[in-house]
Amino acid sequence: MRRTAICFYLLICLCLTSFAALADGIITGKVVDATTGEELIGSTVMLKGTTRGTATKFDGTFELKSPAGKQTLVFSYVGYADLEKTITVTNGSTVDLGQVGLDDNAIGIAEVSVLASVAVNRETPVAISTIKPEIIQEKLGSQEFPEILRSTPSVYVTRQGGGYGDSRINLRGFDSRNIAVLINGVPINGMENGKVYWSNWAGLSDVTRSMQVQRGLGAAKVAVPSVGGTINILTNTTDSKRGGSAYYGTGNDGRQKEAITLSTGMTEDGWAASVNFAHNSGKGWVNATDYDSWSYFANVSKRINDYHSLSLTVFGAPQTHGQRYQRMKISEYQTIARDDYRYNPDWGWKNGEKYNSSQNYYHKPQAILNHFWTLNPSTSISTALYGSVGRGGGRRTAGDNRNAWGYKSTDYRVEGQIDYDKIVDENIAAKDQGSQAYFVNSVNNHEWVGILSNLTHEIDDRLKLTGGYDLRWYKGMHYKEVDDLLGGSFAIDDGDVNNPNRSVWENDTVSYYNEGKILWEGGFAQLEYSNDIISAFVSGSFSAKQYKRIDYFKYKPGNQETDWNNFFGFSIKGGANYNITEKHNVFVNAGYFERQPDFNAVYTDNSNNFNEQAAPERVTSFEIGYGFTTPTFQANLNGYYTLWLDKTMNSTVYDQGGNRYTATLLGLDALHMGLELDMRFTPTRELTITGQASIGDWKWQNNVTDVQLFDENQNPYGETLDVYIKDVHVGDAAQTTISAGIDYEVLKDVKIGADYSYYAKNFAQFYLTSRKTAEPDGASNPDSWQLPNYGLVDLNIRWDFKLGGLSSTLYGKANNILNTEYVSDALDGTNHTWQEADVYYGMGTTWSMGFRVRF
């Protein structure tokens, strides 16, 4: 009887369990960014008041079992405001919530995203890669800001000489001059040559909200130099919630970092403010590249009413850092440097202290005032008024005896380093002759203001029209000033025709002094069509760029200023994306634009001589791509073809004594084409596997003639050269890149990651003097020396935990853990061999640790 009762009891329990399972309902949906529609991968969906929840898959979808009855769901994602939804679940039913949009918790970020032309996956027909702030925090470590893009297809990043902030980036074989870099939609490429100096933006990694790379022509509506692609950086605005965080980090070679962020949140009367301050310092991996950098960021926002809001953002990064200016041959690293790849020939001892002959200092504060105006539910205007004032330069050598400082010299070297004490003694002994060798600063100051406005009008549910204008004014001031006479009481300078052979003292202007002024007026328009299957756009822009040059040293008063010289440019591009199914999509885009020549191409010989042959650069680009998306796997494959005619290129040459010369090459033609593949696999919430491969074929298409070299005082040097580069591969970037990464949450809130990057088919940048001989019978010109292939392995770890009730995170990052020795940058020699190439070696193993607490 007892056994029968037990069996009956077990049967009842089993039935109740089954009935309970049947009583559960299922909730499904898709979590997206409310503004862009982008899937929010890994966002959390919880039943309020319980521990039952799930995370969204790769396509943003989720499925959650729920008891029957009224339930409140809580949706959350890092950087977004939590959202609660109350629904009713019935027994055995499925409740589909469709798309659930989360609002960014940064005030005004949605409006900035529109101005910045942020691309959306499976909608905008361009090749894109988006890096979220948590990835920057986990993967960047002590690396430079652009290095976070190492795992992006067709990207090549190096630190060049190894100084803080001296990194450079190439995208599809194009350098920063041909990559549009936008911060909150505002272009920051230099107005004279398009270059971007990352040391000016050293604090961006602390305040970046999102970083998106749009390869190729990109989605930006304004006329920007997006030949290789567009790097779109959105900074924090103001958090909608009150709080902040504090950070401390340390690392190799004395690296120290301290940072603090504070936010008021939105007050009852519509005001909000956020600030961030950070300090970086250390010795640098390369010898004598000590650095000290401060960065600041502040945003004040005011929501005036439902139609108007204002946002003021100010940021900057004053810094000083030592540099390694001179490349050396591989054999010289083995002999002079004794296999020490940290060796820096540009420093020495002065009165018992280290002294670097190459020192950079700069401060480029920028302010952006945004006005967001909603005219009606279908029409809005976003306007950005911005300005920056740059001050700084770099230390260089000067004087008749400056050539004796070369690293091969034995007269002024002690154990491979410069003997400044000997130079000081000689300058003191020279007396009335003045200093024979001394330091100057090459100063490059600028002032820049602009206004960018964008009107968006939704014609109907499918058509959207945008248009606007882009106005800029710029003045660049370039001169040298005496920094250190090295024991002498004065020096003699003959650079000023109005005062030749004058005596100069510290802080006096010497060698050259000129200004460049630029006016820019542009307009743009774009028409977009979209439905659930097809999205397409066509856009056009035009711009007028006016140049004026003023030279106070080469010309006498009355003849120092040129007239305004005008150049026009335009672009037209279009594309379409077709979502074949929920898994498959294809896209195509094409464009043509003509861009104004650079300042140095307009005024040749570093003079006021106007170049009558200056011509717009012409670019034709075509791209096609395919995407495959499932809840756990995504892959994108695309091919590109970019033909560039009448390109201008600035080139640098060093002689055997380390003297630096520059040249501007005009009328270059180049063809860049290739294939790119990237993928992401998330089989479980804890595991993510990523990978990319890109294969490029980039070649010069013609030879150029009458190229003039200039010394550091902007004076012509030697005879003009004919440069033979037809069919030579474009150098200075790896044309084949492969990377793979894995991130795994090994324990709750403990995440580890490993990344491998491989670089191949990297040709040395050519010396102009090594390309002055034509090959007989029309034979192809020989390629530059090809750098050895290499691979790097990085590791990272993240641990989230509570400290006294506060959310805290511990970060760890190690780069090049195998201490691989590799050549990262090279300049080609006469016979295109490794023995003649001048190179930089890449950095060995580096590490960093950081701790962040949020309150």
Specify the CATH number for the domain of residue 222.
Answer: 2.170.130.10
Cα distances (Å, whole numbers) of residue 387 to 183, 230, 309, 545, 642: 12, 21, 20, 18, 33
Same domain, 111 and 227: yes
CA nearest neighbour of 131 among 139, 143, 123: 139
Same domain, 481 and 362: yes
> Residue 531 burial by CB count (10 A; 0-12/13-18/19+): exposed, middle or buried?
exposed
Tell me if 18 is assigned to some domain: no
> Residue 457 burial by CB count (10 A; 0-12/13-18/19+): exposed, middle or buried?
middle
Supply the pLDDT for residue 386.
97
Same domain, 138 and 260: no
What is the number of domains present in the chain?
3
What whole-number distance in Å separates Cα of residue 806 and Cα of residue 227? 46
What whole-number distance in Å separates Cα of residue 48 and Cα of residue 73? 6
Tell me if 310 is assigned to some domain: yes
Tell me if 794 is assigned to some domain: yes
- By three-state DSSP, how is residue 242 classified? coil
Tell me if 15 is assigned to some domain: no
Specify the CATH number for the domain of residue 77.
Answer: 2.60.40.1120
Same domain, 162 and 195: yes
Same domain, 92 and 131: no
Supply the pLDDT for residue 532.
86
Same domain, 207 and 243: no
Considering 68, 83, 103, which residue would you say is the last residue of a domain?
103
pTM above 0.75, yes or no: yes
Q: Which residues pair with 347 in a beta bridge?
A: 356
Supply the pLDDT for residue 711.
81
Tell me if 604 is assigned to some domain: yes
What whole-number distance in Å separates Cα of residue 169 and Cα of residue 147? 8
What whole-number distance in Å separates Cα of residue 816 and Cα of residue 795? 8
Q: With residue 2 as reference, give the H or E element that holds it.
A: helix 2-23
Tell me if 8 is assigned to some domain: no
* Residue 80: domain span: 23-103
Please, what's the b/e burial string for 571-609 (b: 16 or more CB within 10 A of its CB; e: otherwise)?
Answer: bebbbebebeeeeebbbbbbbebbbbbbbbbbbbebbbe
Structure tokens at 624: 């096609």
Considering 103, 123, 154, which residue would you say is the last residue of a domain?
103
What whole-number distance in Å separates Cα of residue 387 and Cα of residue 367? 6
Same domain, 759 and 814: yes
Run means of pLDDT, 10 residues per run, the chain, 855 residues: 48 43 78 80 87 84 90 86 89 89 76 78 90 88 90 95 94 92 90 89 83 88 81 80 92 96 89 93 95 94 92 94 93 92 94 93 96 95 96 93 77 90 93 92 97 95 95 97 95 95 96 97 94 94 96 96 95 96 96 91 88 88 96 95 87 67 84 97 93 97 87 81 92 97 94 98 88 80 96 97 94 97 94 94 97 95
Same domain, 112 and 139: yes
The length of the chain is: 855
CA nearest neighbour of 293 among 275, 276, 278: 278
Tell me if 281 is assigned to some domain: yes
Specify the CATH number for the domain of residue 407.
Answer: 2.40.170.20
Cα distances (Å, whole numbers) of residue 2 to 271, 701, 739: 74, 95, 67
49: left (phi over 0), alpha (psi -120 to 50) or beta: left
Question: Residues near 749 by Cβ (< 8 Å), separated by ≥ 6?
Answer: 799, 800, 801
Supply the pLDDT for residue 206.
83
Same domain, 574 and 645: yes
Same domain, 61 and 178: no
Same domain, 375 and 492: yes
Supply the pLDDT for residue 313.
93
Strand residues in 701-749 grouped as ranges (E)? 704-710, 716-723, 734-747
What whole-number distance in Å separates Cα of residue 467 and Cα of residue 457? 9
Strands 347-350 and 417-419: parallel
CA nearest neighbour of 529 among 161, 124, 179, 143: 124
Cα atoms found within 13 Å of the Cα of residue 354, Cβ hemisphere only: 13
At 235, the amino acid letter reads T
Supply the pLDDT for residue 240.
66
What whole-number distance in Å separates Cα of residue 476 and Cα of residue 496? 19
Cα distances (Å, whole numbers) of residue 25 to 67, 74, 189, 539: 6, 17, 55, 48
Strand residues in 68-204 grouped as ranges (E)? 69-76, 83-89, 94-102, 106-107, 127-131, 155-158, 168-171, 179-183, 186-187
CA nearest neighbour of 694 among 136, 215, 217, 227: 215
Supply the pLDDT for residue 21.
44
What whole-number distance in Å separates Cα of residue 10 and Cα of residue 219? 65
Considering 194, 209, 235, which residue would you say is the last residue of a domain?
235
Structure tokens at 465: 């029209």
Sign (positive or negative) of CA dihedral 34, 35, 36, 40: negative
Other Cβ atoms within 10 Å of 396 Cβ, number: 19
- By three-state DSSP, how is residue 292 classified? strand
Tell me if 13 is assigned to some domain: no
Same domain, 720 and 769: yes
